[in-house]
Amino acid sequence: MDRNFERALSCVLKHEGGWADNPADPGGATMKGVTLATFRRYVKPNATKADLRKITDAQLSTIYRRHYWDAVAGAELPDGVDYAVFDFAVNSGPSRAAKYLQAVAGVTQDGKIGPATLKAVRAKAHASVIHELCDNRLAFLQRLDTWKTFGKGWSSRVLGVRTEALRMAAPGSDIPNPAPLKAIPVTKKQAAKDVAKSKRFWTWLATGAATPLAAFGALDWRVQLALVVVVVGFSVYAISAMPQVRKALGLT
């Protein structure tokens, strides 16, 4: 029944890493993806962070099976779909993962995967379920306030989950490893839009350009306007060509 649990858990742990205690993470301190609250619930009620850091492999397996895998009926889901839902549950909670799967399957979203959900999921192409679930999961993550902090890691994780889940759904298929995420180049057109919206840029322009313009106060207004156009044009070029300039002006 749990044919894919060990493989799925191994994949999940690659993303979860080891000890983490980031103040920006609402889940608090975690060890291999297990929060202190979850550790207290399944292992030791009065556990400390020190206890959590010493979690054993057996304890880890028990927690992931009972708290996540069983909660989303992992043993009953199709190959690949089980891993995609399992990882979603670990990252964002079993109830949310179940509801998103139910949305893909077109059944009532009650957060409980039962016979109706399983029947609907099995009736759909498994690769299609995986793709749609991962797309919706990424869209959900992008709406979170913490996306700016964790977005790059989440994007990489969902991409990896999608790839491995598709391999599990179609054994023997030639699905390449996901390519590393690349920075999207900034075009001059996009830089101009960013400049127009940047308060920091206009403050910089007003203070930085005021002095030279004052020095040319005796010039014709058309000449002064031309100088402003040149300054803005050069700024857009510099911002589009130099990442460090974008960072300094708060455009990244």
Q: What is the pLDDT of residues 117-176, one digit of tens each?
A: 999 999 999 999 999 999 999 999 999 999 999 999 999 999 999 999 999 999 866 565
Domains detected in the chain = 5-169 (1.20.141.10), 188-248 (no CATH)
Considering the chain, what is the average pLDDT of its residues? 81
**Residue 116: what pLDDT?**
98
**Residue 184: what pLDDT?**
42
Q: Which residue is listed with tokens 């890691």?
A: 153
Q: How far apart (Å, rounded) are the C-alpha atoms in residues 219 and 32?
A: 67
**Residue 1: what pLDDT?**
52
- Tell me the percentage of the chain whose pLDDT exceeds 70: 67
Residue 230 sits at the vertex; the CA angle it makes with 228 and 235, to the nearest 5 degrees, is 95
Which helix (H) or strand (E) element contains residue 126?
A: helix 126-142
Could you list the beta-strand ranges (E) of 10-169.
19-20, 30-31, 34-35
